[in-house]
Amino acid sequence: MSDEIGPVRVDSSRAPAALQERCANAAKEIIQRQAKRAQEILDRKKGSLDRIANALLERNRLLKDELLALFADSTQPTAVAAR
């Protein structure tokens, strides 16, 4: 939700062009802010995500406990035993 506009529903066939533009700009700002937030989360979790991807490439599947262990250990790579 935009702090500037608040929760609104705009009927584009009836709303003035200025309001449509404000809503479009607010939506764009929200999307950009959330995309930046998502990228920051991915950057922070990159080590864990890389370990999970490598383990999946090696084994094609991971059990829940293996996945959680790989995700939790963000300081060093974890070897996953082959089954």
Which residue, chain included where needed, has tokens 């608040």? 6
> pTM of whole model > 0.85?
no
| pLDDT score of 82 | 43
The pLDDT tens digits for 44-64 are 999 999 999 999 999 999 999
Radius of gyration of the chain (CA): 21
The pLDDT tens digits for 71-83 are 886 555 444 444 3
| pLDDT score of 12 | 79
What are the boundaries of each domain within the chain? Answer: 11-44, 45-83
Q: Give the integer Cα–Cα distance in Å for 46 and 4.
A: 34
The pLDDT tens digits for 4-24 are 778 878 887 888 999 889 989
Our CA dihedral for 1, 7, 3, 42, rounded to 10 degrees, sits at 0
